[in-house]
Structure 1
Amino acid sequence: MSWSEAWTPVRMRRVAVIVPQVALRDALVRIAEEGCVELDRAEEAAPGAAAVRLRRLQGRVTTAGPESTTSAVLAIAAPDLDLLEERRDVELLAGEAQLQERAEGAVRHGEVAALAGWCPAAEMPRVAGRLAAAGGALVPLPSPRGTDPPTLLRPGGAVSFAPLVTTYGTPAYADLDPSWPAGLAYVAMFGIMFGDVGHGALLVLGALALRLGWPRRFARLGRLWPFLAGAGVASMLAGAAYGEFFGPTGLLPVLWLSPLDSPARLLAAAVVFGAGLLAVAHAAGAVNRVREGGWGTALYAASGCAGLMFYLGLALAVAGLLLHRPPAAVAGATLAVVGLTLVALAMFRATAGGGAGCAETAVQLFDVVVRTGTNTLSFARLAAFGLTHAALADLVWRGTTGLAGHGGAGVAGAVLLFAAGTALSFGLEALVAGVQALRLEFYELFSRLFEAEGRPFRPWHVPSAEPADSTTKVIPCSPG
């Protein structure tokens, strides 16, 4: 896999499934078992015989399709639908209803049937091999004009941050896949707000428990273990820099700064860190605009090259003023004006022109400038919540040391206070840091990456009641 492919969604191909009509069922069973092809479905098709029996069996009066069934399996050979209804076999009826729905979308000519769909390019040889056993073929087709392929983010092996992106939305097929950069930014922001070596170590232990599937009632949260592990490691690194180990216990030296002793310095560092993240998001957004609509569109877009020029110029101008470097300030101001002018031209062209167009452009331009400043300053919350976390830990530690000097009862009270206070501050601050990092990710960063919404790749996957080919190990594709 090349470097460019690693930062983009999985490459999709438009395909046609061509098979003899007599083998259509066998081919569909194999496709469903593979789970790597998204087949086009007939629009406004009448419910099939299996779907009618399924709704009758479940007492449904709605028009919900067979996809709403929670679980389904397919029989290798065509089953007796009346017998399935009599036995109340909901799973086989649901699978048969889905198969009939796909079969309705087939184009038939003579003795041949064909279905169109999408398939990951890398999976085509495997799917073609399975179809060949049924006498069919998988044929690549040109992509339809005006239709983007569905988006499938790369699963990333055992560690994947794709859920962070898909929770926000589905990137357009032409866009970059920001899963790993977004995941790293998230855990870094969490660590800054939750900087404590001891608390971070507890998060790492929690991630390990999730990875091992313990406790079982939280097994469904297992896919979140990379976020928990990354947040724990980032918290430990930030805690080492702050000299915090379950608070200011003095067990660790301060490698960088103590939040409570240098709040202004921490605040400035948080804003600079956020400005760097925003610059990267602007650059990625510019790449996305080029990939979506070409240089003509990207050059003038507020989330494209023009917006990137404005933000970099503004950052350079501010840095020049703060560091007393007039040439840098002038160069930055010039670059910012050029970028803002390009944005204004694009906004004015989208209006009806005249005085009303100028007024509308001025309002939109003012909004761009204000949002740029507020989004940058919004990262000050990294320092604010980092200070809150440190203050709570300091309060618990001061109370613990104060009680410990009053005899045996005082020591017992100190242990109880430390355990209860640590648990309370840990739970409260972990929740706050997690929510705030997510907010910064979505509103400040992703808003610059995404403009167009993509469509998720949803392959059709229904397991067989018994393997169609006992010599083949079936590994379905990711649902995207």
Structure 2
Amino acid sequence: MIEKMQFLSITGPKDDIDRAIEQHLSKYEFQLESTMTELSETTGLKPFIEINPYRETLNKATQLMSAMGAKETKTDSSMDVKEAVALIDDADAKIKEAEKSLEALNKEKTQLQALVDQIVPFNNLGYDVHKLLAFKSVKYRFGRIPVDYVEKLMQYTYDNVNTIFYECKKDQDYVWGVYFSPKNEIAKIDAVYKALHFERFRLPDEYEGTPEEALALLTKHIGELDAKIKEKQSEIDHVLSSKKEKILAAVAKLKQFSKNFDIRRLAAVTGADKKNFYIICFWMTARDAKKFKAEIESDPNVICLIHDDNKNRVSQPPVKLRNPKLFKPYEMYIRMYGLPNYNEFDPTIFVALTYSFIFGWMFGDVGQGLVLVIGGFLLYHFKKMNLAAIISMAGVFSTFFGFMFGSIFGFEDVIEPIWLRPMSKMTDLPMIGRLNTVFIVAVAFGMGMILLTMIIHIINAAKNHSLGDLCFDTNGIAGLVFYGLLVFAIVMLMTGHSIPGGALLAVLFIIPLLCIAFKEQLTDLCEKKKPAEKTGPVMIVVQALFELIEVLLSYFSNTISFVRIGAFAVSHAAMMQVVMMLAGAESGTPNILVVILGNLFVCGMEGLIVGIQVLRLEYYEMFSRFYKGDGREFEPYNTKQ
């Protein structure tokens, strides 16, 4: 079923819009429309343009919530929005102040750690680094040199230049150390060492003592910084943990108010200075509209208007489906094809019944049907999959037809069929001969479904006031008369009766076909419209002739298409017969493992194929006759993220 929708507009003083939205509108599901578009013919309106004051605070609140590692929850909070803003600003300020101190401490720690990394390689130098600064005639350089160049250093420098290299640490790649040189030769010595890829380090001179003593002092200082960092982090954690519930409540409140404030984007404002008023236009279900109207009547600052005439609306009514819980999963198939427009017939229940019935007919087996029922139910119960619910419902009808066909897990000698066995039951038809009964019933069922969908099309056309579709369409009154008379004639002939009034019947066949062939011309004539294009009478007749041939072929192909129902019923029985043959059922002691595997294979493979084929029948043989599926879904503003 499609919920009845109503178009509403509310207005009140501009500065009262937040209260009106929060106190009244936010309680209901509503779909906003652009007020400027809906009231485009109204003069004196202008867009409602204001900057959202809650967005920045909401961003802060979201960051705080992320820092806590908490997820957003629905909180029924009576917290005032001003309280929420003050709470978030205060918590954010404290956190930022603590983070600033934390950043400074971490920066200082990083610098000290870098000093430690520089001193560690020279830890074995048992000399006061600070005293090196007092040397007046000797210069020193700390650094490292690649291992490959150490030997060259020893060979060259000791014999040719005045320098001493003291090794402090060595690994597989580098040798760390310090070299000394007379002050007057330091430039030359530096050049020599650079040529040997010596990488100079500048040790800090603010610490006295040996590198080992300096390292101990730095390590102690780093430990003190770690304690301060931990203290600051605890301070941040305390702010977050102590106010967690309030912050979450503030996030919910700010998100609500920020979202409500954004309604202004689609609202309009009228008047001038401080006497202007807001206008908000939206769709709401008729049930909610009645409650909303009654609630607003007690508020002197809000005026609500319900517009019953949807014909002159810029926006078409949105569609909200409301079906019983049993049939709701089948809305998935409706959405796959397209939602019905507001004036269309909602085919959800129709699809639920016909899909399940046809599936069961094509896949009739008591045992396999029960497997589908139980498996689908469990899957839907735990995973909430709509397809699982559909499978379970289809399994009910499979079980029903299993009793009708006398089949349980492929065994056809356990229970007697209530109706017939698909492979063996035959029927003699006049002028045709002997045919499988299931095929005949399937075609008859198809004829009935086509007639039913034609009636639905006529109802839809009447609701949309479409005269051409109502009277002259292939699926309208003309099509219903023609196809109905054709079905009547076929039934009379196949049951051995004569057709009464042959000449009259022929006339009744011809008139609907002519109406279908000249649909456009007859529609223009009845609605007193001029043809969009002037076409000569010859072209009109030729075009009508080809369209008529196409219509007749479509009637025939659509009807014959329902043979697949009987074909799959027979093929299912045939496949299970093969399984029984492979299991050796003829000997009286079938192989249970083969029976189980065969049933699983048939249940899986044929169940999938049958499901697709039934959906094809729904879409191509039934939906195409009455359904457009061009509706737009009702999207409540207050449930969007």
Same fold (TM over 0.5): yes
Quote the residue 1:268 is aligned against.
440
2:279 corresponds to: 114
Of residues 523, 533, 549, the one that matches 1:366 is 549
Residues 68-97 of structure 1, C-alpha deviations (whole Å, 9 max, x = no match): xxx99899737769979x89x999887666
Residue 184 in structure 1 maps to residue 349 in structure 2: no
Q: Match for residue 314 of structure 1?
A: 486
The match for 2:579 among 385, 396, 400 is 396
Letter in 2 for 1:379: F
**Contact 1:242–1:255 at 8 Å: present in 2 too?**
yes
> What is the count of residue pairs matched by the alignment?
432
After TM superposition, give the deviation of residue 309 of structure 1 in Å. 1.3
User: Which residue of 7, 14, 21 corresponds with 1:21?
Assistant: 14
Instruction: For structure 2, list consecutive stretches of 5 or more residues without a partner in the other structure.
Output: 38-46, 61-71, 96-247, 427-435, 523-530
State whether residues 268 and 278 of structure 2, in contact with CA within 8 Å, keep that contact through their aligned partners in structure 1.
Answer: yes
Tell me if structure 2 keeps the 8 A contact 1:15–1:116: yes
TM-aligned CA distance change 1:294 to 1:77, over 3 Å: same
**2:422 equivalent to 1:259:** yes
Asked if 2 retains the 8 angstrom alpha-carbon contact of 1:35 and 1:462, the reply is no
The structure-2 alpha-carbon separation of the partners of 1:341 and 1:463, relative to structure 1 and needing over 3 Å to count, comes to: closer
- Output the amino acid matched with 2:360: G
Conserved 8 A contact 1:196-1:239: yes
Does residue 348 of structure 2 align to residue 152 of structure 1? no
Task: Please tell me whether the aligned partners of residues 32 and 460 of structure 1 are also in contact (alpha carbons under 8 angstroms).
Answer: no
Deviates more, 1:90-99 or 1:298-307: 90-99
**Residue type matched to 2:511 in 1?**
V
Cα distance in 2, alignment partners of residues 417 and 83 from structure 1: 71
| Alpha-carbon distance in structure 2 between the residues aligned to 1:361 and 1:309 | 19
The 1:202–1:136 alpha-carbon spacing in structure 2 relative to 1, beyond 3 Å, is: farther
Inter-partner Cα distance in structure 2 for 1:34 and 1:203: 41
Three-state SS of the structure 2 residue aligned to 1:271 is: helix
Cα distance between partner residues in 2 of 1:224 and 1:133: 47
Matched residue, 2:309:
143
> What CA distance in whole angstroms lies between the structure 2 residues aligned with 1:280 and 1:375?
14
Does the 8 Å CA contact 1:317/1:331 hold for their aligned counterparts? no
CA distance in 1 between counterparts of 2:336 and 2:50 reads 32
CA RMSD between the two structures? 3.8
436-445 vs 299-308, greater mean Cα deviation: 299-308
Q: How does 1:16-165 map to 2 (within 5 A)?
A: 16-29=9-22, 33-41=26-34, 77=81, 98-109=259-270, 110-128=275-293, 136-147=302-313, 148-160=316-328, 161-165=330-334
Alignment correspondent of 2:151: none
2:407 alignment partner, SS class: coil
2:514 aligned with 1:341:
yes
Structure 2: distance between partners of 1:29 and 1:429: 55
For residue 98 of structure 1, report the CA deviation from its aligned partner.
4.6
- Once the 2 structures are TM-superposed, how far is the Cα of residue 270 of structure 1 from its aligned partner? 0.7
State how far apart, in whole Å, the 2-side matches of 1:330 and 1:273 are.
28
The structure 2 residue matched to 1:227, chosen from 390, 393, 401, is: 390
Superposed displacement of residue 120, structure 1 = 1.1
Aligned equivalent of 1:282: 454
SS in structure 2 of the partner of residue 390 of structure 1: helix
Give 1:456's match in structure 2, choosing from 612, 625, 633: 633
Secondary structure of the residue aligned to 2:414 is coil
Compute the displacement of 1:326 (Å): 2.6
Mapped partners of 1:47, 1:421: distance in 2: 69
Q: TM-score, normalised by structure 1?
A: 0.78
Q: Choose from 537, 540, 543 the match for 1:357.
A: 540
Residues in 2 aligned to 1:167 and 1:51: alpha-carbon distance in whole angstroms: 39
How far apart are 1:296 and its partner, in Å?
5.7
Q: Which whole-Å CA distance do the structure 1 matches of 2:405 and 2:369 have between them?
A: 13
Tell me how far 1:158 sits from its aligned partner: 4.7
1 or 2 for the larger relative contact order (CA 8 Å, sep ≥6)? 1
Pick closer, same or farther for the CA change 1:317–1:98 going to 2, 3 Å: farther
1: CA distance, partners of 2:510 / 2:413? 50
Q: Against the structure 1 CA distance between its residues 111 and 439, is the aligned structure 2 distance closer, same or farther, given a 3 Å change threshold?
A: same
Q: 1:311 offset after TM fit, Å?
A: 1.3
Q: Which amino acid aligns with 2:362?
A: M
C-alpha distance in 2 between matches for 1:17 and 1:357: 53
Asked whether the equivalents of residues 41 and 105 of structure 1 are also in contact (C-alpha less than 8 Å), the reply is yes
Shift of the 204–41 alpha-carbon distance from structure 1 to 2, 3 Å rule, reads same
Distance change in 2, residues 1:12/1:405 (3 Å): closer
Aligned to 1:170, the other structure's residue is in SS state: coil
**Pairing 1:301–2:473 present:** yes
Verify the 8 A CA contact 2:474 2:516 in the aligned structure 1: yes
CA contact (8 A) 1:201 1:233 kept: yes
What amino acid sits opposite 1:269 in the alignment? V
Higher strand share: 2
* 8 A contact 1:27–1:131 mirrored in 2: no
What SS does the corresponding residue of 1:13 show, helix, strand or coil?
strand
Counterpart secondary structure, 1:171: coil
Structure 2: distance between partners of 1:390 and 1:91: 59
- How far is the alpha carbon of 1:324 from its aligned partner? 4.2
Q: Do the aligned residues in 1 keep the contact of 2:36 with 2:267 (CA within 8 Å)?
A: no
Rounded to whole Å, the distance in 2 between the matches of 1:158 and 1:267 is: 31
- Partner residue of 1:424 out of 598, 601, 608: 601
Given that 2:478 and 2:515 are in contact with CA atoms closer than 8 Å, whether structure 1 keeps it comes out as yes
TM-score, normalised on structure 2?
Answer: 0.59
Query: Which residue pairs with 1:175 in the alignment?
Result: 344
Contact 2:443 2:563 in 1 (8 A): yes
Check whether the contact 2:13–2:278 (CA below 8 A) recurs between aligned residues: yes
Cα shift at 1:389: 1.4
Checking the alignment, whether the CA contact within 8 Å between 2:377 and 2:389 is kept in structure 1 is: no
| Cα distance, 1:30–1:261 mapped onto 2, change above 3 Å | farther
Partners of 1:320 and 1:454 in 2: CA distance: 41
Instruction: Report the alpha carbon displacement of residue 107 of structure 1 after superposing the two structures with TM.
Output: 2.0
Question: What is the CA distance between 1:305 and its match in structure 2?
Answer: 1.1
Q: How does 1:199-210 map to 2 (within 5 A)?
A: 199-210=368-379
Distance, in Å, in 1 between the alignment partners of 2:630 and 2:363 is: 33
Task: State the Cα deviation string for residues 148-190 of structure 1 (Å, max 9, x = none).
Answer: 4222222324543433323222222222222212221111111
Question: Secondary structure of the residue that 1:293 maps to in structure 2?
Answer: coil
Aligned residue for 1:14, secondary structure, equals strand
1:54-76 CA-to-partner distances (Å, cap 9, x unmatched) read 9x99xxxxxxxxxxxxx998997
Q: Is the 8 A contact 1:72 1:93 kept in 2?
A: no
Q: Aligned pair 1:385/2:378, yes or no? A: no
Structure 1 residue identity aligned to 2:554: R
SS class of match (1:327): coil
Q: Show structure 1 runs of 5+ residues with no match.
A: 1-7, 58-70, 465-480
Q: 2-side partners of 1:137 and 1:382: how far apart?
A: 58
